[in-house]
Amino acid sequence: MEVTYMNGAGNDFMVIDARGKNLDFSALAVELCKLTGADGFMAVDHSAEADFRLHFYNSDGSRGEMCGNGARCICRYAFERGIAGENMVVQTDAGLVPGRRISENVYRVLLNLPGVLDVNRLGTVSYVELGNPGIPHAVMEVSGLRWEMADSLREKAQALRHNPAFPKGANVNLYTWLDETTIRLLTFERGVEDYTLACGTGSGSTAVVLWAQGRLPGGELTVKNKGGDLKITVEGASGVVTRLQLEGPTEVVKTYEI
């Protein structure tokens, strides 16, 4: 079996072409992610609704609804293997995700729109679910956030990850403003149970919260994750998001024969 190790702004994945194969994806996710310490596992499958189907699993073997950086990586994987063209649609558990090749390394996807948006779910902590069923995200501002603060914030992030205010658990997104259109973001991911170098849906969810609060009037946000920068564009009216776009780098790191 050929396994491709990829990352999107540092968010890393083990990827296979599973079309026509009967495989235990949960078990594969656990074993393959151990090889590199990857955040997740993705399998490409046939789809009657889109160019291809994405099966996404976290490194602990739990199935995920969707992954923004994973979707960007899987678009590159599909294009470079002739599975889809430069413009494509990916079927995910959270809904259909259009993707586009911008350049050799840069890919853009339209994230699923918020199915739930509650800017005051837990005091100053907002809650967003992207898609239906949605990917759950808790969003909290941490003034002066720096990467080296991660360990001191771990207990708080873990508590929010399992807080009963979030019925499915939540990815926890901690952010601070760097300027009026740029934030620094630190994400503690459900299923990985640790910080990751980037989170695409977390970046999108944070942008949605800021837009809904009226703090992102232009709708464009640069998100500085530890693994790299992502660009989010939010469009909407009357408090309703109608378009949510994620753009950023992808990398093919290595191919394994397992």
Domain parsing of the chain, residue ranges: 2-109+250-257, 114-248
Express each pLDDT in 121-132 by its tens digit.
999 999 999 998
Give the pLDDT of residue 181.
97
Q: Which of 33, 67, 73, 75 is catalytic?
A: 67
In CATH, which superfamily holds the domain spanning 114-248?
Diaminopimelate Epimerase; Chain A, domain 1 (3.10.310.10)
Compute the average pLDDT of residues 176-192.
Answer: 97
Q: What is the reported pTM?
A: 0.94
The one catalytic residue in 33, 73, 75, 199 is: 199
Provide the CB-side half-sphere exposure for 85 (13 A, CA).
1
Residue whose C-alpha is closest to residue 88's, from 99, 97, 77, 102: 99
* Phi, psi (degrees; rounded to nearest 5) at 27: -65, -40
Region 45-72 average pLDDT = 96
Expressed in angstroms, the distance from the first to the final Cα of the chain is: 5
In tens, the pLDDT along 194-217 reads 999 999 999 999 999 999 999 999
Contact criterion met (CB below 8 Å) for 9 and 161: no
Element (H, E) at 187: strand 182-189
pLDDT interval class at 56 (50, 70, 90): very high
Residue 125 β-bridge partners = 122
Collapsing DSSP states into helix, strand and coil, what is residue 25?
Answer: helix
pLDDT, one tens digit per residue, over 84-93 is 999 999 999 9
d(CA 175, CA 28) in angstroms, rounded, equals 33
199 flagged as catalytic: yes
Tell me which CATH code domain 2-109+250-257 carries.
3.10.310.10
